[in-house]
Amino acid sequence: MKHFLALSCLVILLLSTSTTQAQDRLLAQFYNAHRGVAVTFRIGVGRLPMRFVTSLIPNDKKTSDGADARMLFSKIHKIKLYAMEGYDGPIPASDLLKLKQKLIDKEHFDLLMEVRDHGSVVHVLNKGADDNLGNVVLLIQDEKDILLVHLHTSLHVDDINMLIKEFNSKSSKSTASL
């Protein structure tokens, strides 16, 4: 009975970690597929360095800048960045669209937002429950560059709405002072 219980706990642990690593695997496969035709760079920042960054942000009660940034960074647990720049030309946009479709179809990500501006495209996808954003993937393509950002978060939609309101109020104050 003890062996069965230990084995079942191990299986549950492996299944729960493999689902969070599946999107990492898709992003890594995309990155590895373009290593020969692009200048590539990859970096990951885990929970402990993120906590260290959070502790460096001043917690100034007079201005909400520090408090907002501190709150945002405290809810980001891990970050992985994959940067690629094509040698001879841009990496085909169809490759990035295939990656986006795989994340949606196979990993059940939701497309939150898509922004196009002067040849640049940003796709924001998330996989979370209810109003929790959970895993957030940003697929950013410029003329020759691609940046993939994968965030493991405990951010909620209300947190993002608060940051948007703060940004809008500060930008309207700076516009009014001009």
Alpha carbons 28 and 161: distance in angstroms, whole number: 31
pLDDT computed for residue 30 by the predictor: 87
Alpha-carbon distances of 88 from 4, 36, 99, 159, rounded to whole Å = 56, 11, 21, 41
pLDDT at residue 164 tops 60? yes
For 175, the token pair is 């516009």
pLDDT tens readout for residues 92-125: 888 899 999 999 999 999 998 899 988 889 999 9
pLDDT at residue 77 tops 80? yes
Judged by DSSP in three states, 81 sits in: strand
How much of the chain exceeds pLDDT 70, in percent? 76
pLDDT tens readout for residues 1-14: 444 344 443 344 44
pLDDT at residue 43 tops 70? yes
Tell me the one-letter amino acid at 48: L
Q: What is the pTM for the complete model shown?
A: 0.73
More confident: 159 or 12: 159
What is the maximum span of the chain, computed from C-alpha positions, in angstroms? 73
Torsion, Cα of 63, 68, 74, 75 (10° steps): 170
Alpha carbons 42 and 83: distance in angstroms, whole number: 6
**Which range, 75-79, 80-84, 169-173, has the best average confidence (pLDDT)?**
80-84
Tell me the one-letter amino acid at 153: T
pLDDT mean across residues, the chain:
77
